[in-house]
Structure 1
Amino acid sequence: MQDLILSLAEYPDPFWKRFKVTEDDLDGFHHVNNAVYLKWLDATVWEHTRAVGLSEQACIEMNRGMATVRHEIDYLSSAFLDDEVVVYNWVATNDGKLRASRRFQIARLGDGKTILRAKSDYVCTNLTTGRPTRMPDIFRTAYDVKIPNET
């Protein structure tokens, strides 16, 4: 299964997370609600963040975190009850100072179709004040760019 999952990724070396569509994910038209896709993107980011050693507690101790400042989402198709999907994410840019961005792809495992692409922009913030602040060294190294030549 992992070979299939990796073969569907649009860029190399993704961090990915699987989800199965439940009744609670559906809207009145019986497909996944738009807000659920965003929830899946966020859950994948948090899992990736923990995997690179930046748990919530570690960020709290540094008083630093990456806050979302913009999402761009292209909904290409829909997911339905019992579909299994994979959310891929890659760090696309990291200026090593203040800003970083991620690219996302969601693919439906049943037919391999990409159903969503997205981009999110982040700013390093002071968790106490909420103000932008220079990112710590660990943010520069842990959030290494996976997509070459991204602008």
Structure 2
Amino acid sequence: MGWDRATPFIIDLQVGAEDIDGLGHANNAVYVTWLERCAWRHSQRLGLDLVEYRRLDRAMAVVRHEIDYLAAAYEEDELQLATWIVDWDQRLKMTRHFQLKRPSDNTTLLRAQTTFVCIELSSGKPKRMPVEFIEGYGPALQMLDTTNI
């Protein structure tokens, strides 16, 4: 389907009536919810679910979203949202890229980047990633390649 990078993690989405705003297209806030859903499902696939986060007293928390809205999504659109882990310091920060596409016309609707910081759940303060995060997220890291963007 022409993703920006190789081997994306992909979720399928359908735009529902509840996602539509007064302008007749998916509301911008809905896109943020989709980004969170995609990142969370990818983390779960990597073995880092809420149970593991609680056991480790650590989590990856969003500190920054950068979103480029490129085209509108409409009610009943079938969409695919892809994510890649593209950068991390193996201590505190991790960056994901996202691409949202409408397969029916192969249109990219959105590109986004989210920066996460590892926090200690019990205090909410930044804390070094545990080895389980390095082992879980590490294999999913992809070198940033912007040649197709």
Shorter-chain TM-score category? over 0.9
Equivalent residue pairs, number = 144
**Are positions 1:35 and 2:5 aligned together?**
no
**Are positions 1:89 and 2:83 aligned together?**
yes
Counterpart CA distance in 2 for 1:139 and 1:8 is 30
Per-residue CA shift, 1:99-149, capped at 9, x if unaligned?
100000000111010010000001100001000000011211221312346
Structure 1 runs of 4+ with >2 Å offset: 147-150
**Are positions 1:131 and 2:119 aligned together?**
no
Corresponding residue number in structure 1 for 2:9: 15
**Counterpart pick for 1:60 among 54, 61, 83:** 54
* Counterpart amino acid of residue 45 in structure 2: A
The answer to whether the Cα contact below 8 Å between 1:25 and 1:36 also exists between their aligned partners in 2 is yes
Residue 61 of structure 1 aligns to a residue in which SS?
helix
**Counterpart pick for 1:117 among 111, 115, 118:** 111
5+ long unaligned stretches in structure 1:
1-6
**Are positions 1:147 and 2:148 aligned together?**
no
Corresponding residue number in structure 2 for 1:3: none
Length-normalised TM-score, structure 2: 0.93
The answer to whether the Cα contact below 8 Å between 2:53 and 2:59 also exists between their aligned partners in 1 is yes
The answer to whether the Cα contact below 8 Å between 1:11 and 1:147 also exists between their aligned partners in 2 is no
The answer to whether the Cα contact below 8 Å between 1:8 and 1:107 also exists between their aligned partners in 2 is no
Residue 74 of structure 2 aligns to a residue in which SS?
coil
Counterpart CA distance in 2 for 1:92 and 1:17 is 18
Q: CA RMSD in A?
A: 1.2
State the shift of 1:92 in Å.
0.8
Matched-pair identity in %: 38
Per-residue CA shift, 1:29-49, capped at 9, x if unaligned?
110000100101100111111
Residue 71 of structure 1 aligns to a residue in which SS?
strand
